[in-house]
Amino acid sequence: MKNKLLLILLVLLGMAVAWTGGAGAADDPLTQVRALLENGHLRQAERQLEAFLQRQPDDVEARFLRARLHARQGRLERAIADYEALIKDHPALAEAYNNLAALYVQKGDLEQARLILEQGLETHPAYATLYRNITAVYTEMARRSYTEARLLKGEMKPLELHRLSDLVAPPGGSVAPAE
């Protein structure tokens, strides 16, 4: 009985290996691209990613990685276009809203970041990072408005506002992109 069970397990394992083509995670092109991206090898990551997208242009993960790559390269307008296209094609992809908003914050356009985060919350109300980042955006908008009002009154020192969570949690209250 044990030998029969062992034989069945070996057959199933062989079928699984044959079905996956024996490919491990290291053989996955997107795993390789992620590793290159994380290690700062942006040109090589871009070459491999573009080759992959030539074969599979609609792959959501590859398109998301391309947007992250463009952002890492400082090509913000291209990254913004990538995320906008992802949102158009996959409106439930909360990470795309989050990362797009982070790019608008980086450009200084808090109003656009706020709108995008609100859209993301409509499609994915349980995504905590969106809430954390919209809080950071609202805090910065309030700080800027209050500072502007104080400057109009002749008070030259800008106000420093902190979120309540910053007072009870470790620092790091910036808008964080999803990985």
> Containing domain of residue 40, as a range?
27-168
pTM: 0.71
77, part of any domain: yes
Q: How large is the average pLDDT for residues 15-39?
A: 66
> Domain holding 116: CATH number?
1.25.40.10
Rg (CA), the chain: 23
Question: For residues 17 and 23, is the Cβ–Cβ distance under 8 A?
Answer: no
CA 167/CA 179 separation, integer angstroms = 26
Tens of pLDDT, residue by residue over 74-109, are 999 999 999 999 999 999 999 999 999 999 999 999
* Helix, strand or coil, per DSSP, at residue 37: helix
113, part of any domain: yes
Q: How large is the average pLDDT for residues 131-147?
A: 91
95, part of any domain: yes
The residue that leads in pLDDT, 13 or 102, is 102
- Enumerate residues 6+ apart whose C-beta is below 8 A from 36: 42, 44, 45, 48
Question: For residues 137 and 101, is the Cβ–Cβ distance under 8 A?
Answer: yes
6, part of any domain: no
Angle at 112 between CA 95 and CA 61, to 5 degrees: 20
13, part of any domain: no
175, part of any domain: no
Task: Please give the tally of structural domains in the chain.
Answer: 1
Distance of CA 22 to the CA centre of its chain: 30
Question: For residues 137 and 175, is the Cβ–Cβ distance under 8 A?
Answer: yes
Angle at 38 between CA 36 and CA 40, to 5 degrees: 70
Question: For residues 50 and 31, is the Cβ–Cβ distance under 8 A?
Answer: no
